Structure 1
């Protein structure tokens, strides 16, 4: 078994008297157990990206992300393991490698960090920056934020290969939409994919439509997939990387009740949405509900 073996990702069933009475099975796909750094969906997305870099004889990966980006940490660790260099464009020129434990760990793993002013990073500014940095590093494979490319999507689709029973509902935290789109395109037509955006004001459907359109190119197919999506937009707890006493209490309760560790940035918000939905809707009676644990506990 190699370091990032997905066989480490067990299915954990969560007992709950009310859920049991209603015939609801809640299963957690523990992708957080794959690796402390390259955890959760991160290895899923990076697996084929690293293979692509090798096929193209690239010397490293050039990517981008924010101060608490699990993608940056995973890329730094995976590239080090693979013998590739890693370079990151980081949102916020007020930051340094010592601003938080995430950026510090990235630097310790050998990732070169370049901090960009937010206007240059956001929207149209990044397009120009991307071209500049790709010129500077022609022997690096450019990987979009969150691994949003066909190889990342393919890796996330493979999660279903490890689920041996029908799943009626699957819940997942949403950032770049790559994981949620991979889950969606790999799911059975009868499965509802519940996405929980962790960014305040994030338009899940529009972002998923944009990514799927760019990768699939078939408008009717994209619209067909999106009909399987349910969006839970009210669980961001103030916005990205923000939390409240209620969320922190919820994290502690899940750890005590089920020995289920959750992080405050992604997974706790998504699992809170699952619990809220299951407890308040008869739609889930008699159903198997899967929660994809996307890791991120290092930034927990």
Structure 2
């Protein structure tokens, strides 16, 4: 698939379970995990217009940021290879003795990895630090962590337009996992009501970040930010979550991972069971892909 062309609409799959019948809600899964074999889910949508801007600016090198299991680094490395762009990943933390499968994939796709201390990584949004990186690496096009910029919003908003064609009536809520908040902001910019599940411990700060991204959009839906389903923080999980992921695949034939989508669906099921959503609600849960996260085991 050409990364710079519109993607065909991804499937919308309804899940059937006694839990939903009892709560009198309908739950659909937007299968964005099927959008591209390597640049999956929300990363494809967030990078679409950013990559067009890279080429319009006639840049041949892209630099971005992420951790050892970053879906964003993985996706950008694959996209860069496909588009003939050089890629540089500034990686949080000192170089490990054994690199994660995600970082190994990035190297295979030609990404240059630059490891920095966690203290230095915190400077990633500093104008002075970004200027120093530009000088060091020959003025690359710099994309923030997670690909979260205002250019990411229209690509994500297209998902809402697809769903409105696929469903006879608009969904009341969208459910989505949140890392940097860019996907949530994109859904909100299309007027969607979003229940976002932070994968980070102490993710309350995301609300201000998300609202800042949508400040200049024509319309904004409502945000319900859930911060209690992080299972200990980013890249943290337990046996209960892993059992849920296995059971989910057995029952519905859909693979999740433990960094983002597993936590989101676990939280969504828990909220449905507790009667959080009014009877008659239609919910669309966005499968944001990132299944390479399973490789970390």
Is TM > 0.5 for Structure 1 vs Structure 2?
yes
Do the aligned residues in 2 keep the contact of 1:95 with 1:115 (CA within 8 Å)? no
Q: TM-score scaled by structure 1?
A: 0.90
Do the aligned residues in 2 keep the contact of 1:36 with 1:298 (CA within 8 Å)? no
Q: 1:8: Cα distance to partner? A: 6.1
Map 1:77-156; keep pairs closer than 5 Å: 77-95=78-96, 98-123=98-123, 127-156=127-156
Do the aligned residues in 1 keep the contact of 2:92 with 2:121 (CA within 8 Å)? yes
User: What stretches of structure 1 of length at least 5 have no aligned partner?
Assistant: none
Distance in 2, Cα, partners of 1:295 & 1:263: 8
From the superposition, tell whether residues 282 and 195 of structure 1 become closer, same or farther in structure 2 (CA, over 3 Å).
closer
* Partner of residue 169 from structure 1, selected from 173, 184, 201: 173
Map 1:208-223; keep pairs closer than 5 Å: 208-213=210-215, 216=216
Helix, strand or coil: the match of 1:106?
Answer: helix
Distance in 2, Cα, partners of 1:159 & 1:187: 12
From the superposition, tell whether residues 243 and 135 of structure 1 become closer, same or farther in structure 2 (CA, over 3 Å).
same
User: What stretches of structure 2 of length at least 5 have no aligned partner?
Assistant: none
The equivalent of 1:178 in structure 2 is: 182
Distance in 2, Cα, partners of 1:235 & 1:52: 35
Helix, strand or coil: the match of 1:7?
Answer: coil
Distance in 2, Cα, partners of 1:180 & 1:124: 21
From the superposition, tell whether residues 139 and 282 of structure 1 become closer, same or farther in structure 2 (CA, over 3 Å).
closer
* Partner of residue 207 from structure 2, selected from 205, 216, 235: 205
Map 1:67-86; keep pairs closer than 5 Å: 67-86=68-87
Q: TM-score scaled by structure 2?
A: 0.90
The structure in which a higher percent of residues are helix is 1
- Is residue 268 of structure 2 the alignment partner of residue 278 of structure 1? no
Distance in 1, Cα, partners of 2:124 & 2:276: 44
Q: 1:86: Cα distance to partner? A: 0.6
Distance in 1, Cα, partners of 2:127 & 2:67: 16
Distance in 2, Cα, partners of 1:194 & 1:283: 11
Distance in 1, Cα, partners of 2:75 & 2:238: 27
